[in-house]
Amino acid sequence: TRFPRSHFRLSDTHAATISLRDFARYSLENEDDSPLAIYDSAFVDRNEEEKVMAEEYLIPEIFKDDLFNYYFERPPHRWILLAPERSGTGIHLDPLYTSAWLALCSGQKRWVLFPPDTDPRLIGGTTSCNNTTSLTNESSASNNDDDGNSSSNMITKESVKFFLEVYPRLKREGWGWQSEDQEGKKHQENQGCGHQNDDGDDGLVLGNDKEQQNIDTWKNSEENKILIKEKEMQKEEEEKACYNSHLGNNQQEHRRSSSFPPKMMLEILQNPGEIVFVPPGWWHAVLNLDDTASVTHNYLSRYSMRPHLVWPELCTHQPEFAPRFYRQLRRFEPDIARQLFKIHMKLRTGGEPMREKLGIPSCCWKMVEVEMPSIWEDKCPASSVDIKEAAKQLQDEEDDDDEDDELL
DSSP 142-159: --B-TTS-B--SEEE--H
Q: What is the Cα–Cα distance from 280 to 253, expressed in whole angstroms?
A: 13
pLDDT tens for the 408 residues of the chain, in order: 677 777 888 876 667 888 889 999 999 999 888 899 998 887 777 666 667 787 888 999 999 999 999 987 888 888 999 999 999 988 999 989 999 999 999 999 999 999 998 998 899 875 543 333 332 233 333 445 555 444 434 456 789 999 999 999 999 999 998 544 444 444 444 444 333 444 444 333 333 454 455 556 655 777 667 777 766 676 666 555 544 444 443 334 444 445 788 899 999 999 999 999 999 999 999 999 999 999 999 999 999 899 999 999 999 999 999 999 999 999 999 999 999 999 999 999 999 999 999 999 999 999 999 999 887 876 554 444 445 555 555 556 556 555 555 544
Contact of 135 with 91, CB cutoff 8 Å: yes
- Signed CA dihedral, 373, 375, 377, 383: sign only: positive
Closest CA to 286 of 26, 30, 37: 37
Helix (H, G, I), strand (E, B) or coil at 365: helix
Q: Please list, in sequence order, all residues whose beta carbon lies within 8 angstroms of the beta carbon of residue 60, skipping any fewer than 6 positions away.
A: 101, 275
Surface-to-core class of residue 214, CB atoms within 10 Å of its CB (0-12 exposed, 13-18 middle, 19+ buried): exposed
The beta strands (E) that lie in 77-225 are given as 78-83, 88-92, 99-106, 109-114, 125-127, 154-156
Q: What is the Cα–Cα distance from 75 to 313, expressed in whole angstroms?
A: 12
Q: What is the Cα–Cα distance from 240 to 133, expressed in whole angstroms?
A: 20
CA distances from 124 to 94, 141, 249, 371, 400 (A): 17, 20, 19, 40, 51
Count helices and strands in the chain by DSSP H and E runs: 12, 13
CA distances from 70 to 11, 59, 182, 322, 388 (A): 26, 17, 43, 12, 7
- Specify the pLDDT at position 319: 94
DSSP 35-94: ---EEES-TTTS-HHHHGGGGS----GGG---GGGGSSSPPP-EEEEEE-TT-EEEEE--
In the Cβ-directed half-sphere of 49, how many Cα atoms lie within 13 Å? 6
- Specify the pLDDT at position 205: 35
- Specify the pLDDT at position 193: 36
